Structure 1
Amino acid sequence: MQRRRFLGAAGLGLTGSLAGCTSVTSLFQTSNSREPPLVENRPDAIYIPTHEEGMEMIGMGDAGDLKVGLMYSYAHRFWMVENDGGEWVSTEVPFESDDTVHLMAIVWEPETGVVVPSTDVTVEVTNSDGLVYQEVVYPMFSQQMGVHYGDNVALDGNDVYTVTVTVAGVPFERFGSFEGKFAEAATAEIQFDYREGKRNDIPYQLLEDRQGERGALPAMEMEMPTGVAPDSLPGETIGEGTSENEDLTFRAQAVTDERFGDAPYLLVSPRTRYNGYLVPGMSLSATVERDGETAFDGELRAGLDPEAGLHYGAPVEGLTVDDGVTVAVDVPTQLARHEGYETAFFDVDDVTVA
């Protein structure tokens, strides 16, 4: 199986509900492919994918102070982000013929519902015969599930499996009640009884009349958070700015809460169009203008806060809501993408927040 190169409970019986849907077995029983052809001339933006599919919930477990939710759907193509001669591009990772499921995990802090993105998550699958699968899985981004971790997995047929999910220490700064937490690796263990027939009953709907249009599938209704940006943020709002194609909105806050340090803190919260997901895995910088002079020009570092969730920020002396802020995307999000996101979030021009 092609591997990435850029990054080192009880079953709930939950399945996504799709109107007018069928199963993959009936859709592709006369085809050599389990997926429809990609949309031709895909826009360089968020778009409606070729199909919509549900999922099957496996269960939940505790990994230290964090919660892990595990689910699966059909094995399917996805895209990883690579640097090709100085240009960031998405590269398709097709599923292999023996891949059984697309296994997905969501990691979050249960008291606040804050999703933990962009860390290393190792998944080990075993059965009574021994090891079936072990990998550091991809941090991922999808229209239906937001921020999660996943990979295609070849199971050994109908069997009872134990899935061990190890969440590495969070690699960025934590604030407030998160300070000092999530620094060490923690593990959750979840068992499930896999049956191919149950997988084949997961709903699947082709979107022939809408595929390729600007838009996004709605987020699934789940018993887990998906990383939607909060409406309320700490501090005072400096303003909002939107990328030229409107796929990304950046909201800037001037925060004086002591948990962020002695100096005022510039907090930037990026979110996607349509579903309003927070966007981890980017490298951002900002310029702050005050009275015709540059008061700050530098990197915004990723952070995790109980109120703001994933954000990017930096201390800025004298920061007020009257300052002008320009945000630059120096490196696009490095998360692997599900279909409909794979052409988006590249080549974002500087965004003025007002």
Structure 2
Amino acid sequence: MIRAKRHDGRVCSDSRKIIGVWRISESICGREVFETHARARRGGVSLIGAASWTWSTLNSVARRFVQQWGTQASLGVPVVSVGNLQAGGAGKTPIAIEIARELKARGKTVWILSRGYRSALERSYGVLTESSHTHPLSDYGDEAPLLAAHSRATVIVGAKRIENFKRYWASGARCDLVILDDGLQQFGLKKDFDVVCVTDASPSDYFFRERRTQWSEREWVIETKGSAPFQTPTERTSQVKLVSQIPESLRAKKLWLISGIGRPEHLLQSLTDQNVQMSKTTFLPDHHAYDGEEIKAFIRDARRQEFTLAITEKDALKWKAFVNLADEGVEVIGYGCQWVSDRTLFFEALWKSCFVSPCI
């Protein structure tokens, strides 16, 4: 099922191992840099700028290495990658959901390969659908359940994406297309269409994996949060506004927003644009690992101060493991994609790349 495609006849047998080692080191080191950044900034030292430059440079080298001398595996079905240049907070999850929904509406069976960042299954394997799962739901992390619930696609979780795809395919299941969640830097896999989600974030203030000014004909840039501070290909660029969805009944309440997502200031701005005012906010790191005592403390404090707690769907997945949200009066904020530019143009390009001139 898996076929390795060689470029210009030259093959480096260790290329996948090299890229694999780099992926692990990037994950570990990048995570540590990101988590210590806030402390460093208080001391007047910015680690993010230096880390962004280092990782961007090394990823550019890795990308060019694979393109010229390495091998790329083919899954045998079209692959759409949805990724970002910065580490989190670019809106790739709602974009992946939007793509899966559209393709399913066109009659295609879609699988989503998700790393399951910081989940119990990140170094393992699990399958999740809208109505079934092979492991306890809490093992899938905070993104895979959202992908499954909103896209109604099958989500395969685990960092070894090619191996996990083969394993599920061997079970007899079949699909027409794979969406590679957070796949921009997955250099060892052949992709038919690369969706790159960008924001107005600066590499000096936010950890960047890559900084790009040139794009191939199979890449499409989607600006999700402001205009990107670098050159983008105007003929292959879309603008999508991520809109928060909040019940009308909450507008008159005294709200306390608690959020553990990337770039929560955009969530707050989206709510403000809809005339929803937050009386209090608590912003936690992206993928924050809540525990039961912490959540119960938030609930006690909210009751004492007469606040209504509001959290995102991503946070709600973790809270549900400890409390009944309805019983505790916790409100959940959803989201949706509002296309500012031509949605049809984007999907026509994707369809052509995957089903008219696929790279499989």
Give TM-score, length-normalised by structure 2: 0.29
Higher strand share: 1
Q: TM-score, normalised by structure 1?
A: 0.30
Select the structure that is richer in helix.
2
